[in-house]
Amino acid sequence: MEEQVPSLGSGVESAVARAMARVLPEQAGADPLVRPSERADLQSNAALAAARTARTAPARLAGSLAEALREDRTAPIARVEVAGPGFLNVTLTDAALWHQVAARAADPRLGIGTPERGRRTVIDYSGPNIAKEMHVGHLRTTIIGDSLARILGFLGGEVVRQSHVGDWGTQFGMLIQYLDEHPDARWHQADLAADTDAVSALDQLYRAARALFEADADFADRARRRVVALQAGDPPTVATWRTIVAESETAFGRLYDRLGVLLTPADYAGESTYNDQLAGVAAELEAAGVARLSEGALCVFDPAFTGPDGAPVPLLVRKSDGGYGYDTTDLATIRHRLRDLRADRLLYVVDARQSLHFAQVFAAARAAGWLPDTVEAVHVAFGTVLGPDGRPFKTRSGGTVRLAELLDAAVTRARAVVAEKNPGLPAAELDRIAEQAGIGSVKYADLSTARIKDYAFDLDRMVSLSGNTGVYLQYAHARIRSLLRRAAEQGLAPDPAAVDGTVAPAGAERRLVLLLDRYAGALSDTVAGYEPHRLCGYLYSLAKAYTEFYETCPVLAAGTDAQRANRLVLSALAADTLRGGLDLLGIAAPDRL
């Protein structure tokens, strides 16, 4: 049943390639350079590119290619014209256009193939800190990483999610000691009210512990001893630590559920899971001659990375006190993901400010031989979320903005917008829609700008009903569902088998078909640069193209039965593509809004 439907673009590519092979055999392997066109269904720029090496005038070569294409009976081409300096403007046959619509609509995957099949990608994202509330700084890694994981998985790839949870460090000695001395403190989820959670309680207790640590030297001593006990595996200390971790992970899970993020406890691979590998990592690097001792610390010096004094900046594999920092744990993740998880590709969805760190870590891992040239390791870097003042987003008092309250604010705003426009909604449905629209707004706003850039968090723009927003896409989808419901009331259902290839599509209809056929291309563009905003841009143009179609092409009141049958299938395919695309962004597509 599931069947890949090659795009019309790829069909034209092969046709141009065949034409090239006939007209210019020595450049048979050249890129056909087939692109969407404003002046035709598709265009090929192959003649322009090939003319120089062929020592031919581009227009002349284009003419020869056009002639060859006209003789190609297997190509889905109705007309080829040479334009400008040598562009090939291609018009497709109506039958080919409708065939794509019917074939995609008939397939549960909309004819999208599985180009990622056989490739295993380990993707590192989210990575919240145990006993600390998730804040705005976790928003982008969580949302971008989850979307990439969904897309790679949909394209047939094997995806291993890894959340590098901050579950280890000296701060836990402080917290555990404080909890031990304050047995009355309530932080287990079972002891808390439903509207709060363990991680929120633990975060507050940690702040209290920190304050005490700085004010009370005796407590500080006891806290330090507790760190040693934790590292030594002291059973009661470890038991408390485990409970803290478990309670925190449960709380993260609740937030992930709300956000529509796929991470599960099985995906948590915290820093502590690498503890017993760190000495081995250091030893291997030293034995391989990649790392050497400097001022008591084991370091990797790479002349490619220099500091203010012009000397190489070290990667700290082992600190002079014998401890290990995040340089080492990140090196350990690479070794583990290659050796044990057998990754074919590594993605680290981490703040752009860590770019030097990852460049160093990747270089060291390559030098150590852990990371072969055949395996791509990518720092999927993203910019900072800014506040209205253009500075990193903080609360008015300068504190971090909790993710939960950010989402609450968006949902509240979305509820007001929906309630105003649709006053008749029952309260329960309003709640559900406000949640989906509000969460979707935040996620879409984050995903829809180029990830490397900073962006300003602006709720008013995010929940806007027009423009490139999540709500607009949700609305476009809901309106098509509404149309299909109305059709169903009249006993009309979209039937791909009933699509009539002899119907001449109207202009807006034709543009919509062509765009729908580019879905796979949009996904591969998105994966090529690990840039979800490309998928967003595609879906936005699709929503606009459907609206234009909707305005000018009556569906239920179409001129002929054949036209109506075709438009019903076209509408269903547009709705399914919007919903599928939104799902790959991790955004809900409700049937009503």
Residues 402-461 that bind RNA (CB under 7 A): 417-418, 421-422, 448-450, 452-456, 461
Assess contact for 86 and 52: CB atoms under 8 A. no
As measured in angstroms, the least distance from the Cβ of 263 to RNA is: 18
Applying CB under 7 A, the span of 72-80, 228-236, 315-323, 509-517 interacting with RNA comes to 315-323
Class of residue 222 by CB neighbours under 10 A (exposed 0-12, middle 13-18, buried 19+): middle
Assess contact for 199 and 193: CB atoms under 8 A. no
Q: Which is nearer to RNA, 208 or 450 (CB)?
A: 450
Class of residue 169 by CB neighbours under 10 A (exposed 0-12, middle 13-18, buried 19+): middle
Q: Which is nearer to RNA, 45 or 189 (CB)?
A: 45
Of 118, 265, 296, 369, the one binding RNA (CB under 7 A) is 296
What pairing do the DSSP bridges indicate for beta strands 42-44 and 34-36?
antiparallel
Applying CB under 7 A, the span of 201-209, 230-238, 281-289, 534-542 interacting with RNA comes to 534-542
Based on the shown chain and the rule CB under 7 A, indicate whether residue 309 belongs to the binding site for RNA. Answer: yes
As measured in angstroms, the least distance from the Cβ of 160 to RNA is: 21
Q: Which helix (H) or strand (E) holds 306?
A: strand 297-306
Q: In terms of C-beta distances under 8 Å and separation of at least 24 residues, what long-range contacts does 240-247 make, across chains too? A: 240/176, 240/179, 240/180, 241/172, 241/176, 243/188, 244/130, 244/131, 244/172, 244/175, 244/176, 244/179, 244/202, 245/130, 245/165, 245/167, 245/270, 247/187, 247/188, 247/189, 247/198, 247/199, 247/202
- Residues numbered 169-228 forming contacts with RNA, rule: CB under 7 A: 169
Based on the shown chain and the rule CB under 7 A, indicate whether residue 513 belongs to the binding site for RNA. Answer: no
Of 358, 475, 519, 530, the one binding RNA (CB under 7 A) is 475
As measured in angstroms, the least distance from the Cβ of 1 to RNA is: 29
Applying CB under 7 A, the span of 116-124, 178-186, 361-369, 473-481 interacting with RNA comes to 473-481
Of 26, 70, 85, 118, the one binding RNA (CB under 7 A) is 85
Based on the shown chain and the rule CB under 7 A, indicate whether residue 271 belongs to the binding site for RNA. Answer: yes
Based on the shown chain and the rule CB under 7 A, indicate whether residue 555 belongs to the binding site for RNA. Answer: yes
Class of residue 467 by CB neighbours under 10 A (exposed 0-12, middle 13-18, buried 19+): exposed
Assess contact for 438 and 413: CB atoms under 8 A. yes
Based on the shown chain and the rule CB under 7 A, indicate whether residue 40 belongs to the binding site for RNA. Answer: yes
Of 25, 183, 307, 426, the one binding RNA (CB under 7 A) is 307
Based on the shown chain and the rule CB under 7 A, indicate whether residue 55 belongs to the binding site for RNA. Answer: no
Applying CB under 7 A, the span of 70-78, 225-233, 481-489, 578-586 interacting with RNA comes to 481-489
- Residues numbered 364-383 forming contacts with RNA, rule: CB under 7 A: 383
Based on the shown chain and the rule CB under 7 A, indicate whether residue 319 belongs to the binding site for RNA. Answer: yes
Q: List beta partners, residue 294.
A: 297
Assess contact for 269 and 165: CB atoms under 8 A. yes
